[in-house]
Each structure stands twice: as C-alpha cells, then as structure tokens.
C-alpha cells in the first residue's frame, strides 16, 4: 500500500514537473519574437570534450596529503565529492541536458577538487550534486549532507560563523541590465525609486539594499524570470553578477548591460566548520590550480566565453572578510 | 534568534502582506466559488458544463504554474497586472474551484425532500435555493470553507517565488543576509500558524452561531 502511494506521489511529481517545464518552454517560446528569454546556446560554447580535458588535466594530491581520519580521506574512500550547488546557474553550474554533466566555473572547480582528492578523471562520476538554496546551504554543510558548497557563495562574516570558507576563488561584481531603449538608468544611483529585479538566491539583493536602499526589490527565482520581468516592463532593471548579465544580453537583443560593476563579491567554497583540516587542504589546492594555470583555463572555458579579454588574476586566498 | 527578533517588524510587514493576500484571495474564492456552485446545481446543462470544467481545470493545475502563466504569459498578449494583484487573483481563481466543491457538497447534504417540499409549495428554483436549501447547507459548509481558507493562507507563500514581498519572501531575504534559516523559518511558521488558527477560530464561532438549538 505504502509503495503504491509512493509510486503515485512520484508520478504526480513527475507530471507537475512536466507541466512546469512545458510552461517554461511556452514562456520562452512566446517571450519575444526575436530571441529566447532563457539561456540559449548562441553564446560561444566550449565543447564537452574540451571542458572535460581541462578537468582531467588538473592536478592530483600526493597521498601523504590525505591524512587519516580527515575530511579528505572520507571523500577519497567514498570515491566522489558530495557537492552542494545548482544545476541552473548559467556560466557557473549548468546541467548539460545531453550528457547530464554539470558545466560551469563553480561546477568545474568542484570537479577539479574531486579529481584532486580521488585521482579519477571521469567527470560525470567525480561529483554528486545536491541542489542547495540560500536557505539550506549552511544547514546541509553542518549536518554533513554535502562535503562542500560551490554555489556563487559570497563570503560574509555572518556566514563565516556557521561554515568555513576556503578561497576567495573568484571575485565578481554586480552590474545592471535594462531594456535596450532605456536611457534613464546608467549607474546604481539611478535605481532610486525604481523596480529592480534580482535572483532571490543571490547576494545582489543585499548589495542593492546597501547601494540603492530606495530601489523596490523584486526577488525572482531564476535568471530567465528576471530577464523576462525587465523585458515585459515589470521591472526597470535587473541587477546581478556582471558575467551572467553579459551572457543574458548576448542572448537577447531586447536588453543591454549598463555601467561597470558597483560591488565586489568574493566567492568562497563553503566547508564544514568542524573539520578545520578541510579548509587548509582546499586552500592549498586552490594555490596549486592558480599556479599551474588550471584555474585560468577553466575561467576561459566558462566565464571567458561571455566576458572578453584575458582571465583576471585570481583573488588572494584569505583576502575576504570571513575567509 | 536575536537577529530574527530584531527584524521582527520587517517580518510583521510581510505578515501583513500575507494577510492581505489571504483575505483578498479567500473573498474572491467565496464569491466566484458560490457562483460556480450555483452553476453546477442549476438544471441548465451548459452552465453545469462550464462549472465542472472550471473546477477540473483550476483544481488540477499547480498554483505556482498558474502564477507563472499569469505573470509571464499574460504580458505577451498585452495584459499586465501588478505582482501583488496577480498573486491575489491566482489565489482566488484556484481557491474558487475548492470553494465551489465545498459549497456544492454542502448543498448535497440537504435532503432532496426539502427541495421537493419547496417546489410543492410553489417556490421558484431561486427562491427554494435562497430560502430553503442554502441556509441549511451553509451549516455543513463551515468546516470545509475553513479548510479552503487555510489552504489559501498557506499557499499564499508561493507568491514569494514570484517576487511578492510577503512573509516567506522577507524571511528568505533575512536569511540571505544573516544565514539564520532555522530561526527565521520558525518565526515565519509561527506567524502562519497564527493566521490559520485565526481562520479556524472564526470558523468555530460561525458554526456555533449557525447551530440549530434543539
């Protein structure tokens, strides 16, 4: 009986998902006559084999570094890294629907770390993803559901009381996206009194409170919804990580990115606070991939596909308040 | 917990938005649901079909999907409501399907002999519905309607996903800043409980008022 109910529940959920995805497809379909709202494949992409080669070329730890009874040893024994992250974050961690592989800057780093510990090269089996949100990240690290969180996770002193941060491994900044014909918004000061959309899982909401306290916030769940809100005039502007906005604008001619980033967001790798060896180990690994160019190559293959120019210098480890 | 308490005013602001959504959504559900229930019991086939189709459609579409369609689909055909209005309308549309069924089942609890007697003394359909059937039916509707109210109150939290600044949305914002998920959601949960219990209390009061003194 209970099995029957469980099956029924599963079927129901599947059908709800099917409806939801059908809806999102429909939305994308009718979002604009000229371009899709959702992340499309029009941006210069890096093929799976090129991407996999970058992960496979990343360094592997000496066996002496995997000390007994440590955080690293438990990952090595298990054979894969349990990662808390996203499968819908463009440029950072997006699921490739053909191969089922996660690709992006965050995803790539988690795969490199898993390779560093386990020594394996098969990208698909290196990590297992648990989708996390702002509401669940700290708790899932504390109760051991995930080994590490790679989720455009901005290092803040408040969060550092709950989890340990390795890094910063990337420094980003929030920029502004508006409709193509908008001329009134050029910088963050112009957001005063305007409706501003952002992702509910992002720290952009916090930066907006700080830099544009009189803006009216609209928190949507995904990037595509925020872009749609701007395109349909529901929001005057959309604020998020510049890389993601540039990618949106390159996929959608109805919107544009204005001005330069007005914040500095140091992203860190969330680790359990009660395993201090993990943080030191991951920081050592970060220094290695900075030095041997793996970090650089991964940046070029992910964020570098929408941001022009060379990879920036990686941020200094321990530079952010809370890391 | 201290952080949550020091931002309690902000959460209360969100709670007020949740109350507004719930009251508007529920009021809309009752008005629309009553009309639909009448449609489903009148002896006019097209109206019955319309009522039944409405209920089957809106009862079986996830509310979140409805909200997404309303908010991102309608602007494409030139209709744009504010986010708050969209959420309230969707709550009413969805709640109406459940209200309709609650009212219809209430009507069905009135023995058919009552309707026959009403007709026998010469009352028209409308008169028998208004003077004989609905007053008796309403007694057995109170608890199902309380369920609908609680359903509307709790599902109003889905509006947070479409950028309505309600209690859930503000809880998430608070958590973004201070990483206090458990404490923040405990407080939010307690506020939702207050709202639901308020609805249940009002229902119990109505039930006592309407009870037949035997």
Res B117: pLDDT: 94
Is the CB of B73 less than 8 angstroms away from the CB of A26? Answer: yes
Q: Minimal Cα–Cα distance from B38 to chain A, Å? A: 30
Res B181: pLDDT: 81
CA angle B165, B28, B207 (to 5 degrees): 110
Whose tokens are 């089957």? That residue is B56
Band of the pLDDT at A25, cuts 50, 70, 90?
very low
Res A70: pLDDT: 87
Q: Taking the C-alpha atoms of A103, A107, A110 and A111 in order, what is their torsion angle to the nearest 10 degrees?
A: -10
Per-range mean pLDDT, top range of A32-41, A130-139, B88-97: B88-97
Q: How far apart are the first and last CA of chain B?
A: 52
- Judge contact between B151 and B92, C-beta under 8 A: no
Collect all residues with Cβ–Cβ distance below 8 Å to B192 and sequence separation of at least 6: B18, B153, B154, B157, B167
Per-range mean pLDDT, top range of A123-132, A260-269, B190-199: B190-199
Q: CA–CA separation, A90 vs A226, rounded Å? A: 13
Q: Minimal Cα–Cα distance from B97 to chain A, Å? A: 19
- Judge contact between A267 and A153, C-beta under 8 A: yes
Where are the alpha helices (H) located in A174-257, listed in sequence order?
204-211, 223-231, 242-251
Residue A137: both structure tokens together = 């990240």
List of chain A residues whose C-beta atoms are within 8 Å of the C-beta of residue B175? 134-135
Range from A162-171, A253-262, A310-319, B188-197 carrying the lowest mean pLDDT: A310-319
Is the CB of A134 less than 8 angstroms away from the CB of B176? Answer: yes
Band of the pLDDT at A27, cuts 50, 70, 90?
very low
A220 touches chain B (CB under 8 A): yes
Asked, colleague to colleague, whether A48-171+266-305 and A174-258 share their fold, the answer is: yes
User: Which residue in B58, B85, B163, B188 has the most chain A C-beta atoms within 10 A of its own C-beta, making it the best mutation to test that interface?
Assistant: B163
ipTM: 0.76
Res B87: pLDDT: 94
Q: What is the mean pLDDT of residues A245-261?
A: 84
Res A261: pLDDT: 85
State which CATH number among 1.10.10.10, 3.20.20.60, 3.40.190.10, 3.90.1300.10 fits the domain covering A174-258.
Answer: 3.40.190.10
Is the CB of B179 less than 8 angstroms away from the CB of A158? Answer: yes
CB atoms within 10 A of CB A252: 26
Residue A12: both structure tokens together = 């129901």
A20 touches chain B (CB under 8 A): yes
- Judge contact between B38 and B55, C-beta under 8 A: no
* pLDDT at A16 exceeding the cut of 50: no
**pLDDT (tens digit per residue) in A117-132:** 888 888 888 888 898 8
List of chain A residues whose C-beta atoms are within 8 Å of the C-beta of residue B181? 135-136, 138-139
**pLDDT (tens digit per residue) in A35-83:** 333 344 444 567 888 888 888 888 888 888 888 888 888 888 988 999 9
Is the CB of A206 less than 8 angstroms away from the CB of B177? Answer: yes
Q: What is the mean pLDDT of residues A223-231?
A: 90
Nearest CA to A283 out of A65, A26, A107 is that of A65
Mean pLDDT, chain A, rounded, equals 80
Collect all residues with Cβ–Cβ distance below 8 Å to A10 and sequence separation of at least 6: none
- Judge contact between A65 and A281, C-beta under 8 A: yes
> Smallest Cβ distance to A20: which of B65, B75, B163?
B65
> Smallest Cβ distance to B172: which of A134, A162, A228?
A134
Res A44: pLDDT: 55
Band of the pLDDT at B175, cuts 50, 70, 90?
confident
Res A196: pLDDT: 93
Res A13: pLDDT: 39
Res B75: pLDDT: 85
Class of domain B2-210 as given by CATH? mainly alpha
List of chain A residues whose C-beta atoms are within 8 Å of the C-beta of residue B185? 135
* pLDDT at B56 exceeding the cut of 90: yes
Q: In angstroms, what is the C-alpha Rg of chain A?
A: 20
Give the largest CA-CA distance in chain A: 62
Q: How many residues would you count in chain A?
A: 323
List of chain A residues whose C-beta atoms are within 8 Å of the C-beta of residue B6? none
Is the CB of A30 less than 8 angstroms away from the CB of B80? Answer: no
* pLDDT at B98 exceeding the cut of 50: yes
List of chain B residues whose C-beta atoms are within 8 Å of the C-beta of residue A225? 72, 162
Res A43: pLDDT: 47
Structural domain spans, chain B: 2-210
Q: CA–CA separation, A38 vs A58, rounded Å? A: 31
Range from A21-30, A51-60, A177-186, B58-67 carrying the lowest mean pLDDT: A21-30
> Smallest Cβ distance to A205: which of B68, B76, B176?
B176
Res A171: pLDDT: 85
* pLDDT at A5 exceeding the cut of 80: no
Q: CA–CA separation, A97 vs A101, rounded Å? A: 8
Res B213: pLDDT: 61
Who has greater pLDDT, A29 or A100?
A100
User: Which residue in A234, A235, A254 has the most chain B C-beta atoms within 10 A of its own C-beta, making it the best mutation to test that interface?
Assistant: A234
- Judge contact between A21 and A281, C-beta under 8 A: no
DSSP A316: P
Res A46: pLDDT: 77
Band of the pLDDT at B48, cuts 50, 70, 90?
very high
Res A91: pLDDT: 82
Structural domain spans, chain A: 48-171+266-305, 174-258
Who has greater pLDDT, A163 or A46?
A163
Residue B72: both structure tokens together = 């991102």
Give the largest CA-CA distance in chain B: 69
* pLDDT at A151 exceeding the cut of 70: yes
Band of the pLDDT at B214, cuts 50, 70, 90?
low
Fold of A48-171+266-305: D-Maltodextrin-Binding Protein; domain 2 (3.40.190)
Q: CA–CA separation, A246 vs A267, rounded Å? A: 19
Is the CB of A23 less than 8 angstroms away from the CB of B181? Answer: no
């Amino acid at each position: 009986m209970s099995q029957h109910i469980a099956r029924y529940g599963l079927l129901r959920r599947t059908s709800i998902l099917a409806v939801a995805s059908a809806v999102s497809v429909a939305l994308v379909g009718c979002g604009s006559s000229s371009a899709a709202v959702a992340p499309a494949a029009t941006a210069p992409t890096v093929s799976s084999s090129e991407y996999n080669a970058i992960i496979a070329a990343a360094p592997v730890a000496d066996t002496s570094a995997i000390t007994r009874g440590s955080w690293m040893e438990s990952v090595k024994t298990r054979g894969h890294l349990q990662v808390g992250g996203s499968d819908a974050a463009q440029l950072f961690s997006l699921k490739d629907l053909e191969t089922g592989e996660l690709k992006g800057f965050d995803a790539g780093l988690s795969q490199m770390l898993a390779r560093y510990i386990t020594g394996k090269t098969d990208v698909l089996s290196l990590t297992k993803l648990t989708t996390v949100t702002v509401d669940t990240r700290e708790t899932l690290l504390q109760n051991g559901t995930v080994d590490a969180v790679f989720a455009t996770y901005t290092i803040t002193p408040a969060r550092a009381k709950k989890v340990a941060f390795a890094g910063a491994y990337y420094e980003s900044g929030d920029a502004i996206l508006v409709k193509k014909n908008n001329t009134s918004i050029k910088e963050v000061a112009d957001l005063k009194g305007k409706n501003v959309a952002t992702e509910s899982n992002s720290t952009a909401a916090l930066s907006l409170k700080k830099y544009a306290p009189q803006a009216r916030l609209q928190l949507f769940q995904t990037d595509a919804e925020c872009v749609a809100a701007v395109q349909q005039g529901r929001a005057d502007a959309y604020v998020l990580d510049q890389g993601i906005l540039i990618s949106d604008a390159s996929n959608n001619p109805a919107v544009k990115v204005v001005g330069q980033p007005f914040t500095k967001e140091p992203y860190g790798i969330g680790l359990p606070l009660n395993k201090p060896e993990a943080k030191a180990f991951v920081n050592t690994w970060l220094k290695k991939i900075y030095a041997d160019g793996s970090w650089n190559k991964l940046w070029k293959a992910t964020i570098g596909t929408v941001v022009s120019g060379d990879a920036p210098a990686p941020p200094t480890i321990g530079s952010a308040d809370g890391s | 917990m201290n952080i949550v308490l020091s931002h309690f005013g902000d959460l209360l602001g969100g709670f007020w938005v949740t109350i507004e959504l719930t009251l508007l959504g529920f009021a809309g559900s009752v008005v629309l649901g009553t009309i639909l229930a009448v449609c489903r019991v009148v002896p006019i086939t097209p109206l019955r079909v319309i009522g039944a189709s409405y209920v089957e459609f809106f009862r079986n579409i996830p509310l979140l999907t409805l909200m997404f369609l309303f908010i991102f689909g309608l602007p494409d055909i030139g209709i744009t409501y504010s986010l708050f209005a969209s959420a309230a309308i969707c709550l009413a549309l969805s709640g109406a399907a459940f209200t309709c069924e609650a009212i219809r089942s209430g009507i069905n609890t009135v023995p058919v002999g009552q309707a026959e007697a009403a007709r026998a003394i010469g009352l028209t359909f409308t008169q028998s519905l208004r003077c004989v059937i609905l007053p008796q039916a309403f007694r057995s509707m109170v608890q199902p309607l309380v369920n609908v109210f609680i359903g509307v109150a709790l599902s109003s939290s889905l509006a947070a996903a479409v950028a309505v600044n309600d209690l859930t949305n503000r809880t998430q914002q608070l958590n973004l800043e201070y990483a206090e998920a458990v404490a923040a959601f405990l407080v939010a949960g307690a506020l939702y409980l207050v709202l639901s219990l308020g609805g249940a209390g009002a229902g119990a009061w109505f039930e006592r008022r309407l009870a037949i003194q035997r």
